[in-house]
C-alpha cells in the first residue's frame, strides 16, 4: 500500500485549562480512502480535526500531511492540502454572492482571469450549484448553503476533504443530494459523523474515537455489526434500521 496521505502518530493534546482531549492517537489514511470518524460528544473528534491543518498543534506526537509535518514552517502548504467543511455553512459563507464565496480562496492564492472562472464553475458544478452562482447565499436553503460550503473548499483543490457532520440538519432530499455529491468526489475524505447509515453508505472504513483514544478501526459494516461496541461508545443505528451488507460502501 502507498504511503499514508494523512498520519497521526501518538498525538496527544491538552487545552490550556488542563483538559486532556487526545491521548496518543494513531491514525493512517491512504490516498483515495473515505473514512468515517465516529464517537460520542466530547470524544475529541473536533480537537483531532483541528490538528489536521494546523489550527491546533499537538502537545506530543506528530501529524503529517502528504509526508510533511504539520508545523508553522509548512502551514501554508498544509492548508492548501487539507480542506475542512464545517458543520454550519454560515461559518464559511460571508460574501455577497455564491460565486464570490467560491472565488475567495483561490483568488487569494493568486488565481485570476479565466483560470479563476474555470475553478469557480467546476467547483459549483461538482455540487450542483452552478445555476445559483449569482444568488446571495442568504437566499438559499440550508442544504444548498452546505453544498456551496463544500464548493468553496473544492475550489482550493485540496488533497484531503474533511467534513464535520455533513448530514446534520438536512431534510431527507437534501441529505440524499449531499450523499450523492460526496460519493462522486474522487478525493481522500475524512467524515466526522453521528449518522451511522451515512457512514455505511459513503465510507468503507470507520474509526471510533472515544475519550481521546481510537478504540476501533475496521470496515464500516463490521464495526456497525458489533452492537456491544457501538452501544459502549454511545452510538446508535436509527430505530428499525436493518444493517444490510448490500448497503455497505465497498
Q: Which of 212, 158, 189 is nearest to 48 (CA)?
A: 212
Which H/E stretch holds residue 160?
Answer: strand 160-164
Q: Domain with 78 in it: what CATH number?
A: 3.40.50.300
Is the per-residue pLDDT at 250 higher than 80?
no
pLDDT tens string 12-28:
999 999 999 999 999 99
Q: Which of 238, 234, 195 is nearest to 39 (CA)?
A: 234
Q: Evaluate whether residue 145 is within a structural domain.
A: yes
For 229, the domain range is: 6-247
Q: What is the pLDDT of residue 212?
A: 96
What nine digits make up the cell of 210?
Answer: 472515544
pLDDT tens string 131-162:
999 999 999 999 999 999 999 999 999 999 99
Q: Evaluate whether residue 1 is within a structural domain.
A: no
Q: Evaluate whether residue 240 is within a structural domain.
A: yes
CB 170, CB 178: distance < 8 Å: yes
Q: Evaluate whether residue 26 is within a structural domain.
A: yes
Q: What is the pLDDT of residue 242?
A: 85
Q: Evaluate whether residue 196 is within a structural domain.
A: yes
CB 87, CB 142: distance < 8 Å: no
Phi, psi of 96, rounded to the nearest 5 degrees:
-65, -35
Q: What is the pLDDT of residue 58?
A: 96
Is the per-residue pLDDT at 101 higher than 70?
yes
Q: Evaluate whether residue 22 is within a structural domain.
A: yes
- Going from the C-alpha of 143 to that of each of 10, 127, 171, the distances in angstroms are 37, 11, 8
Q: What is the pLDDT of residue 1?
A: 56
pLDDT tens string 181-225:
999 999 999 999 999 999 999 999 999 999 999 999 999 999 999
How many distinct structural domains can be found in the chain?
A: 1
Amino acid at each position: 500500500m502507498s504511503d499514508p496521505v494523512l498520519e497521526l502518530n501518538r498525538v496527544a493534546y491538552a487545552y490550556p485549562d488542563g483538559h486532556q482531549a487526545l491521548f496518543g492517537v494513531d491514525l493512517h489514511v491512504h490516498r483515495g480512502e473515505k473514512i468515517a470518524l465516529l464517537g460520542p460528544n466530547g470524544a475529541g473528534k473536533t480537537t483531532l480535526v483541528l490538528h489536521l491543518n494546523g489550527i491546533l498543534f499537538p502537545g506530543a506526537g506528530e501529524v503529517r500531511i502528504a509526508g510533511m509535518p504539520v508545523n508553522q514552517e509548512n502551514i501554508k502548504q498544509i492548508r492548501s492540502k487539507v480542506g475542512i467543511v464545517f458543520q454550519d455553512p454560515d461559518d464559511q459563507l460571508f460574501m455577497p454572492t455564491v460565486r464570490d464565496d467560491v472565488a475567495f480562496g483561490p483568488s487569494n492564492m493568486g488565481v485570476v482571469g479565466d483560470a479563476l472562472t474555470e475553478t469557480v464553475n467546476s467547483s459549483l458544478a461538482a455540487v450542483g450549484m452552478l445555476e445559483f452562482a449569482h444568488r446571495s447565499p442568504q437566499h438559499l436553503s440550508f442544504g444548498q448553503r452546505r453544498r456551496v460550503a463544500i464548493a468553496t473548499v473544492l475550489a482550493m483543490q485540496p488533497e484531503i476533504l474533511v467534513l464535520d457532520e455533513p448530514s446534520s440538519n438536512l431534510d431527507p432530499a437534501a441529505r440524499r443530494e449531499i450523499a450523492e455529491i460526496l460519493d462522486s468526489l474522487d478525493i481522500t475524505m475524512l467524515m466526522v459523523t453521528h449518522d451511522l447509515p451515512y457512514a455505511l453508505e459513503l465510507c468503507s472504513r470507520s474509526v471510533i474515537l472515544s475519550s481521546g483514544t481510537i478504540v476501533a478501526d475496521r470496515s464500516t459494516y463490521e464495526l456497525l455489526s458489533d452492537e456491544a461496541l457501538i452501544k459502549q461508545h454511545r452510538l446508535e443505528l436509527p430505530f428499525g434500521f436493518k444493517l444490510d451488507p448490500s448497503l455497505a460502501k465497498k
